Structures are given as C-alpha cells and as structure tokens.
Amino acid sequence: MKLDQAYSGNVFICSSENYESSKAVIYGMPMDYTVSFRPGSRFGPSHIRQASVGLEEYSPYLDKSIVDLEYFDAGDLLLPFGNAARSLKSLANMLVKFLQTTSSLWVLVVNIWLHGL
C-alpha cells in the first residue's frame, strides 16, 4: 500500500519493502497551508527521510538494531493544496485504511507543522 511520492520519493532508513509483514507504517502528511512568510514545512517528511540515512543502525546502549524492526514507509499522502479541512479528512481516511488492513499495526504520522493550522 504505497502512497503517491509527489514530494519525497525516498524512504526512511531500513524500512521494509513488505507492507503485509510490517508491524508499523510511516507516512508523511506534507502541509504548508497557513504560512504567511516562509513556506516549506510541506517538505518536512521528505527531509526527515533524507536525514534518516545519517542515523546509526545499531545502538550499543540498547543493544538493538533498527534493521530488526519491521516497519514500512508508505510515502507521502497527496493532499488538496490549501484546504486544511479536506486534508485532515484525507489523513483520517488513510489512517482508517491502514488500521483496517491489520490488527497489529502501529501507524506513525510523520508530519511537520511549523506554523500550525
């Protein structure tokens, strides 16, 4: 279940390519609607993914590796530009779709709202 990659096209480090076996889903919600001075928060999810390649895959403190986690990066949700109400409805609908497909799935919404709604 991949979303349109209009803004990103890249994935979070070590994410699985298999949605069905994943225990978590990451997807971005690029919004930049209420800004009046300096836009750009819509690129937040993409930049988080780009920065993820600099993360350490193994933590000696926790004795755990991110490679052992099973999570799927679904990409960015395509949102109707300038319509916050419809965008939030799209977010809710996508969340419901993810939760209906499996009973043991956690969903992480990767979203940066620098200017709020």
In a domain, 13, yes or no: no
Can you give the pLDDT at residue 61? Answer: 93
In a domain, 81, yes or no: yes
In a domain, 6, yes or no: no
Can you give the pLDDT at residue 105? Answer: 58
In a domain, 69, yes or no: yes
Give the CA angle between residues 34, 107, 42 to the nearest 5°: 25
- Quick check: pTM over 0.85? no
In a domain, 39, yes or no: yes
Can you give the pLDDT at residue 16? Answer: 84
Who contacts 114 (Cβ-Cβ below 8 Å, separation ≥6)? Answer: 35, 40, 41, 44
For residue 43, what are the domain limits? 24-110
Structure tokens at 96: 């419901």
Given a cut of 80, whether residue 111 has pLDDT beyond it is no
Predicted confidence (pLDDT) per residue in 62-94, tens digit? 999 988 888 888 888 888 877 888 988 888 888
What is the tally of structural domains in the chain?
1
Given a cut of 50, whether residue 110 has pLDDT beyond it is no
State the burial class of residue 30 (Cβ atoms within 10 Å of its Cβ: 0-12, 13-18, 19+).
buried
In a domain, 16, yes or no: no
In a domain, 100, yes or no: yes
- What is the distance between the alpha carbons of residues 97 and 114, in angstroms, rounded to a whole number? 27
In a domain, 87, yes or no: yes
